[in-house]
Structure 1
Amino acid sequence: NAKFSLVYAQGCLLNDLDVPGFSRLQVLRNYLPQVQKELKICEAKTDKSSINEPPEVELKDLPSHLEYAFLEGDDKFPVIISNDLSDEEKTALITVLKSHKRAIALKLSDIKGIDPEFCTHKILMEDDFEPAVQHQRRVNPKIYDVIKKEVLKLLDAELIYPISDSPWASPVHCVPKKGGYNVVKNKENELIPTRLVTEWRVCIDYRKLNEATRKDHFPLPLLFYR
């Protein structure tokens, strides 16, 4: 538990402490209060899953061929399905989605990867590669705020973590992103979906890393090639 971890950490620090002319008791009396000030008991971070507490999601207008369906109650866990399905097909589809609700991520913290202590991904490099440290390009204040917000969001979800001594460093940049559909009415009072570039996608320039990566001669085929 937390108290045992605190005492264990204190013991490790004191075992490495060697003060000539002082007994262990004198060291404990003088040093232990200072260690207790520096070491704090922190509560474990527990992110509640969307399964237990579905987040509030803003529902936007959909084109006429799409509609919302809810996997929990009348207003929780929304999914988008086709409007052309029959009642039996909709019921069967919603039943399948409900049984696999944990596979649907409504927020970043719902995406659970493999524990790095169990397994980590390794990139195979060429024998004669040289690590490249590329400096971050200057961006305007608007793009800087977008990058900062995205990085903080990924850090909070523990999908990324900082590394200060990596031999590789790739710059971050933003590209325009289609911000979904904006449904408007035409002269015949019909809802017409239109797309507007209202958002930005944060990307990383991995060209230097790709050049040093060992080529895969038998890559997996893309889905639409099957």
Structure 2
Amino acid sequence: MTVIQNEKNELIPSRTVTRWRMCIDYRKLNKATRKDHFPLPFMDQMLERLAGQAYYCFFDGYSGYNQIVVDPEDQEKMTFKCPFGVFAYRKMPFGLSQSFENTTTQMVLISNI
């Protein structure tokens, strides 16, 4: 990581670009998507469940989206085109309106097993 100085003399951390990163605008798809509001557990409920436990397991929240398989029938809806070809996601991408709800639902279901 390198640090650069901007016009206001502020130090800004910066990374060297070493690979391609896809950025897809799903606003139209998100607008047409039926919303499924999943109630998140309250913090006090989560802390109560953790109290007195010997171990706490943190599921991989950083790449949780990339662990949920997209139904093959829905892959066509998330197709994108770039100079290298036409592609569709097999795993849940970040940026879809229901990604967070689906990931949270899966994590809660797993933790209740």
TM-score (norm 1): 0.19
User: Larger % of strand: which?
Assistant: 1
Q: Please, what TM-score do these two structures have when normalized by structure 2?
A: 0.29
